[in-house]
C-alpha cells in the first residue's frame, strides 16, 4: 500500500468510526438506545466472563503441563541416580577376583535384589564368556535367541566402557522369547580392573519394562503412564496406570546414559480443566451473574417505581386540581381536634391563610367569640366519637374581618389506610347566599300574599260601600230626625226620649260600620308571621263578618259547624283567616250561577286522623256550586290560573302554600250530588309534656 493510499484508507476509517460513534450516541439518547445500552452491557459482561473462564482454564492446563514436566525431569534424574548406584553395587561383585561359586552366589543375590536385571555376565577382554547367571525370577532370556546374535551391541558398549573407563550402556534391542512374546532389553557394560589393569567386563542385561516398573513405577507410575520410546515415538516399554477418559498431558525427556540415550516419556492423565477451575473464579463468575441479575431486577424495579411515581404524581395533580376547583371548603382535624388540612376554598371562605389555620386547636380563629363555649362543647362531643348527622348541621363562622356567615358542615370520620380513625374530615358549605335567596323568596311570598289580600279588599270595596250604605243612611236619617226634633220648639218630653233612642241607634250603626271597616282593616294590615295557639272557632269568628258581607250579596246561607271540645291549633292567624276567606269566597262564587237556587255554604271544623307525634284539626268549606271539571282540577293550584274574568288565580296556590307551611295539607273533592269540598289540616298545639319528651 502506497503512503497516499494509506492516508486515504485511514481517513475513510476515521470517517466510518466517527459516524459509528455518533450513531451509537444517538441510539443511546433515544429510547431505542436504552435497550442497546443494556445489550452492550450484558455482552460486555458475558465477554469478560468467558475470557475469565478461558484464561482460568488455560492457566490450569499450563499448571498441569508444568507439573508433568517437573515430574518427568525428576523421574529422569531418579533413573539416572539409581542406575549409577546400581553400577556401584555391581562394582562389589568384581572388587577382588572371587571364586566362581562365590561370584555366582553374589550375582544371584544381586539379581534377586534388582528385579530389572535379567542377567549378569562376566567376560574377559576378548569378550569370551567367563561366567553368567540368569535371574531366578524368570526363564533364561537367551533361550530362543542365541546370545551371539546380540553380542554386537554388547561389544560396542564394552568398547565404549573401556574408553571411558566406566559403565557404558548399549542401545536397546528386542529380544524374542520362547513363549512368543519378547521384550526390549539394554545392556550395561562395566569394565573390570585389577590393580588398575583392565581384565574383563561385567555385563548386566536390563529389561526396559522392568526398569520402568522397579525404578519409577512406584513413585511416578501411579498417576502417569511412563515409557521409553524411539525418537519416532514407537514405545519400547510401558509402565504405570492407563486410566481412560481423561485428558492426556505428555512430557518427554532424554535420558543421557554413557553410550546410549533413551527417550523417556511421561503421559499424565489428568481430568479436563474444570469450567470453573478454582473457587475464586467460580466466586467471581457467580458474583458477576448475581450482579447482572440484580441489575436486571433493579432496572425492572426502577421502571416500576418510575411508573408508580408518575401515576402518583398524576393522581396528586388530579387531586390538587380537584381540591382547587372545589367551592366546598374542606377541613380535616386529628383526634385532638387540631386542624391538619384546609383546602383553598375553606381559606377563601374564612379569609385566613392555610398556615394560620393548620395546627390550630380550639378556639379556632374562625369561631365567633360569642359562640366559643358552645362550639367547644360541640367539638368535645365530636371528639368523644359521636358521629354527626349525615345531612350535616348548620353553624355560624366568622371571617377574618369579623363578619359572620352561616355554614352547613357535613362531617365524617377520617379513616387511615390501616382502617383506623385518625380524625374527622368536614365539608363546609357557605350557605349565606342560600339564606339570602330564601329571605328574598319569603319576602316576595309575603308581598304576593299582601297583594292577594289587597285584591280581596278591592273586591270587597263594592261590598263595603253597599254594606256601609245601610248604617250610614240609617245614621244620617237618625241624625236628621234628631236635629229636627231638637229644633222643634213644641217638642214634647217624649221627644227627648226619641232623640235618645235615635242617638243610641246612631251609635249602634256607627259601631256596626266601624266593625265592618275594622274587619277589613284587620285583614289588610300586615303583621309579622307569628304562630299562636287559637281555638278553631276564633278563626271562624274572625272571618265571619267578611264572609257574611259577600254571602248577603250573593244570597248565600252560611252555616258553621264546629265539633265541641276541639283543641287549639298552632297557626298564623292572618294567613289561616285568608285561607278560610278565599275558600269561602270561591265556594260562594261557584254557587253564584243562574239556576242555583239552594245556595248554602258549610264551614266545618273537626278532629282529623292523628298520629303519635302530632294531632290535627281538619277545616272544610263545602259549597253546592257547579263543581270542578277535570281540566280545571289539573291546574287548580297553578298560580295565575283562573276561570273568572276578574280573577287573579292566586287564591288557591297561596292557600296551599300557607297550609303546607303549617305542616298540613290542602285537598279537595266533589260533593254529592253537586258542589265541592275543600279540606285542610292544621296542627294541634302540642301539650307541654309532649314537648319535653321530644326535647
Ligand atoms: P281566582 O279565584 O282568582 O280565580 P283561585 O286560585 O282562587 O283564583 O281559583 C282558581 C280557579 O279555581 C277559579 O277560577 C275557579 O275556576 C276554580 N275554583 C276554585 N274554587 C272553586 C269551587 N269551590 N268550585 C268550583 N271552582 C272553583
Mean pLDDT, residues 105-116 taken together: 84
106 shares its domain with 230? yes
Distance 644 CA to ligand 1 centre (A): 8
What are the DSSP E strand ranges found in 450-512? none
254 shares its domain with 124? yes
Q: Which CATH number belongs to the domain containing residue 459 in this structure?
A: 1.10.287
C-alpha cell at 53: 473462564
Q: Look at 17-26, 39-48, 85-94, 576-585 and tell me which has the smallest mean pLDDT.
A: 17-26
C-alpha cell at 514: 266601624
Mean pLDDT, residues 651-676 taken together: 90
Is any atom of ligand 1 closer than 6 Å to the C-beta of 648? Answer: yes
556 shares its domain with 671? yes
Q: What does pLDDT average to over the chain?
A: 81
CB of 660 closer than 8 Å to CB of 640: no
Neighbours of 567 (CB within 10 A): 17
Distance 530 CA to ligand 1 centre (A): 28
Atom of ligand 1 nearest to the CA of 653: 6
- Burial class of residue 12 in the structure, from the number of CB atoms within 10 Å of its CB (0-12 exposed, 13-18 middle, 19+ buried): exposed
Is any atom of ligand 1 closer than 6 Å to the C-beta of 651? Answer: yes
pLDDT band for position 96 (cuts 50, 70, 90): low
Residue 624 lies in a domain: yes
Closest residue by CA, ligand 1 atom 26: 628
Mean pLDDT, residues 273-281 taken together: 62
Whether the per-residue pLDDT at 570 is higher than 60: the answer is: yes
Write the DSSP assignment of 27-49 as a string of letters: HHHSHHHHHHHHHHHHHHHHHHH
Distance 597 CA to ligand 1 centre (A): 20
Q: Which CATH number belongs to the domain containing residue 424 in this structure?
A: 3.30.450.20
Terminal C-alpha separation, the chain: 115
Distance CA 72, CA 60 (A): 18
Is any atom of ligand 1 closer than 6 Å to the C-beta of 637? Answer: no
Atom of ligand 1 nearest to the CA of 625: 24
Distance 655 CA to ligand 1 centre (A): 12
397 shares its domain with 511? no
Distance 613 CA to ligand 1 centre (A): 34
Closest residue by CA, ligand 1 atom 10: 642
204 shares its domain with 352? no
pLDDT band for position 9 (cuts 50, 70, 90): very low
Residue 33 lies in a domain: yes
Distance 464 CA to ligand 1 centre (A): 22
560 shares its domain with 664? yes
Closest residue by CA, ligand 1 atom 22: 587
388 shares its domain with 477? no
Atom of ligand 1 nearest to the CA of 647: 3
Higher pLDDT, 120 or 451: 120
155 shares its domain with 231? yes
Distance 572 CA to ligand 1 centre (A): 23
Is any atom of ligand 1 closer than 6 Å to the C-beta of 590? Answer: yes
Q: Name the domain boundary from 508, 527, 546.
A: 527
Can you give the residue range of the structural domain that contains 454?
443-527
113 shares its domain with 229? yes
Is any atom of ligand 1 closer than 6 Å to the C-beta of 277? Answer: no
H or E segment at 56? helix 31-91
Whether the per-residue pLDDT at 618 is higher than 60: the answer is: yes
240 shares its domain with 127? yes
Distance 468 CA to ligand 1 centre (A): 28
426 shares its domain with 449? no
Distance CA 284, CA 302 (A): 26
Best residue among 583, 586, 675 to mutate for probing ligand 1, ranked by most atoms within 8 Å of CB:
586
Residue 620 lies in a domain: yes
Task: Tell me the percentage of the chain whose pLDDT exceeds 70.
Answer: 86
Q: Can you give the pTM of this predicted structure?
A: 0.40
Those residues with Cβ within 8 angstroms of residue 172's Cβ, 6 or more apart along the chain or in another chain: 184, 185, 186, 208, 228, 236, 260, 262
Residue 695 lies in a domain: yes
Q: Which residue has the cell 501411579?
A: 222
Neighbours of 454 (CB within 10 A): 11
Distance CA 652, CA 452 (A): 11
Closest residue by CA, ligand 1 atom 23: 587
Atom of ligand 1 nearest to the CA of 649: 8
Higher pLDDT, 685 or 689: 685
12 shares its domain with 104? no
Higher pLDDT, 482 or 671: 671
Is any atom of ligand 1 closer than 6 Å to the C-beta of 632? Answer: yes
Distance 584 CA to ligand 1 centre (A): 11
Is any atom of ligand 1 closer than 6 Å to the C-beta of 641? Answer: yes
Tell me what pLDDT residue 239 has: 83
pLDDT band for position 27 (cuts 50, 70, 90): very low
Distance CA 202, CA 89 (A): 12
Is any atom of ligand 1 closer than 6 Å to the C-beta of 624? Answer: no
What total of structural domains would you count in the chain? 5
Amino acid at each position: 500500500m502506497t503512503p497516499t493510499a494509506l492516508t486515504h484508507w485511514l481517513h475513510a476509517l476515521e470517517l466510518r468510526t466517527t459516524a459509528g460513534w455518533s450513531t451509537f450516541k444517538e441510539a443511546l439518547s433515544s429510547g431505542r438506545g436504552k435497550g442497546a445500552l443494556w445489550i452492550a452491557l450484558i455482552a460486555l459482561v458475558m465477554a469478560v466472563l468467558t475470557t475469565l473462564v478461558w484464561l482460568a482454564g488455560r492457566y490450569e492446563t499450563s499448571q498441569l503441563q508444568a507439573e508433568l514436566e517437573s515430574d518427568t525431569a525428576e523421574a529422569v534424574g531418579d533413573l539416572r541416580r539409581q542406575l549409577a548406584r546400581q553400577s556401584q553395587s555391581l562394582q562389589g561383585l568384581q572388587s577382588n577376583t572371587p571364586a566362581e561359586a562365590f561370584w555366582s552366589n553374589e550375582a544371584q543375590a544381586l539379581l534377586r535384589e534388582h528385579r530389572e536385571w535379567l542377567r549378569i555376565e562376566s567376560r574377559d577382554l576378548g569378550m569370551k564368556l567367563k561366567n553368567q547367571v540368569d535371574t531366578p525370577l524368570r526363564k533364561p532370556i537367551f533361550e530362543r535367541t542365541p546370545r551371539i546374535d546380540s553380542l554386537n551391541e554388547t561389544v560396542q558398549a564394552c568398547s565404549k566402557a573401556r574408553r571411558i573407563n566406566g559403565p557404558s550402556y548399549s542401545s536397546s534391542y528386542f529380544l524374542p522369547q520362547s513363549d512368543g512374546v519378547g521384550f526390549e532389553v539394554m545392556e550395561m557394560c562395566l569394565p573390570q580392573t585389577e590393580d588398575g589393569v583392565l581384565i574383563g567386563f561385567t555385563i548386566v542385561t536390563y529389561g526396559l519394562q522392568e526398569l520402568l516398573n522397579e525404578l519409577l513405577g512406584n513413585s511416578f507410575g501411579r498417576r502417569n503412564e511412563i515409557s521409553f520410546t524411539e525418537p519416532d515415538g514407537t514405545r519400547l516399554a510401558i509402565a504405570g496406570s492407563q486410566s481412560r477418559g481423561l485428558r492426556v498431558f505428555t512430557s518427554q525427556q532424554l535420558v543421557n546414559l554413557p553410550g546410549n540415550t533413551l527417550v523417556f516419556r511421561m503421559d499424565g492423565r489428568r481430568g479436563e480443566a474444570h469450567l470453573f477451575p478454582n473457587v475464586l473464579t467460580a466466586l467471581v463468575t457467580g458474583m458477576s451473574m448475581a450482579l447482572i441479575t440484580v441489575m436486571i431486577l433493579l432496572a425492572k424495579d426502577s421502571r416500576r417505581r418510575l411508573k408508580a411515581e408518575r401515576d402518583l404524581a398524576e393522581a396528586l395533580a388530579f387531586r390538587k386540581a380537584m381540591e382547587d376547583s372545589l367551592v366546598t371548603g374542606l377541613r380535616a382535624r386529628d383526634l385532638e381536634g387540631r386542624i391538619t388540612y384546609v383546602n383553598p376554598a375553606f381559606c377563601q371562605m374564612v379569609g385566613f391563610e392555610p398556615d394560620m389555620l393548620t395546627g390550630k386547636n380550639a378556639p379556632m380563629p374562625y369561631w365567633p367569640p360569642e359562640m366559643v363555649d358552645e362550639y367547644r362543647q360541640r367539638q368535645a362531643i365530636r371528639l368523644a366519637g359521636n358521629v354527626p348527622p349525615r345531612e350535616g348541621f348548620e353553624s355560624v363562622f366568622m371571617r377574618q374581618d369579623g363578619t359572620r356567615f352561616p355554614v352547613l358542615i357535613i362531617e365524617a370520620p377520617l379513616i387511615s389506610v390501616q382502617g383506623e380513625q385518625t380524625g374527622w374530615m368536614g365539608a363546609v358549605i357557605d350557605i349565606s347566599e342560600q339564606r339570602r335567596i330564601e329571605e328574598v323568596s319569603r319576602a316576595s311570598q309575603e308581598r304576593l300574599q299582601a297583594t292577594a289580600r289587597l285584591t280581596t279588599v278591592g273586591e270587597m270595596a263594592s261590598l263595603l260601600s253597599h254594606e256601609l250604605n245601610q248604617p250610614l243612611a240609617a245614621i244620617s236619617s237618625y241624625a236628621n230626625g234628631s236635629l229636627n226634633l231638637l229644633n222643634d220648639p213644641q217638642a214634647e218630653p217624649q221627644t227627648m226620649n226619641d232623640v235618645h233612642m235615635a242617638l243610641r241607634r246612631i251609635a249602634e250603626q256607627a259601631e256596626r260600620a266601624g266593625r265592618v271597616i275594622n274587619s277589613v282593616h284587620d285583614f289588610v294590615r300586615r303583621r309579622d308571621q307569628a304562630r299562636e295557639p287559637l281555638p278553631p272557632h276564633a278563626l271562624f269568628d274572625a272571618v265571619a263578618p267578611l264572609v257574611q258581607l259577600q254571602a248577603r250579596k250573593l244570597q248565600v246561607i252560611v252555616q258553621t259547624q264546629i265539633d265541641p271540645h276541639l283543641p287549639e291549633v298552632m297557626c298564623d292567624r292572618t294567613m289561616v283567616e285568608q285561607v278560610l276567606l278565599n275558600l269561602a269566597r270561591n265556594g260562594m262564587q261557584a254557587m253564584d250561577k243562574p239556576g242555583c237556587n239552594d245556595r248554602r255554604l258549610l264551614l266545618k271544623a273537626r278532629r282529623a286522623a292523628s298520629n303519635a307525634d302530632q294531632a290535627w284539626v281538619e277545616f272544610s268549606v263545602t259549597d253546592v256550586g257547579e263543581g270542578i271539571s277535570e281540566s280545571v282540577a289539573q291546574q287548580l293550584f297553578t298560580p295565575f290560573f283562573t276561570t273568572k274574568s276578574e280573577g287573579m288565580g292566586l287564591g288557591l296556590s297561596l292557600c296551599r302554600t300557607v297550609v303546607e307551611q303549617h305542616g298540613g295539607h290542602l285537598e279537595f273533592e266533589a260533593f254529592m250530588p253537586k258542589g265541592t269540598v275543600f279540606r285542610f289540616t292544621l296542627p294541634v298545639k302540642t301539650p307541654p309534656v309532649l314537648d319535653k319528651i321530644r326535647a
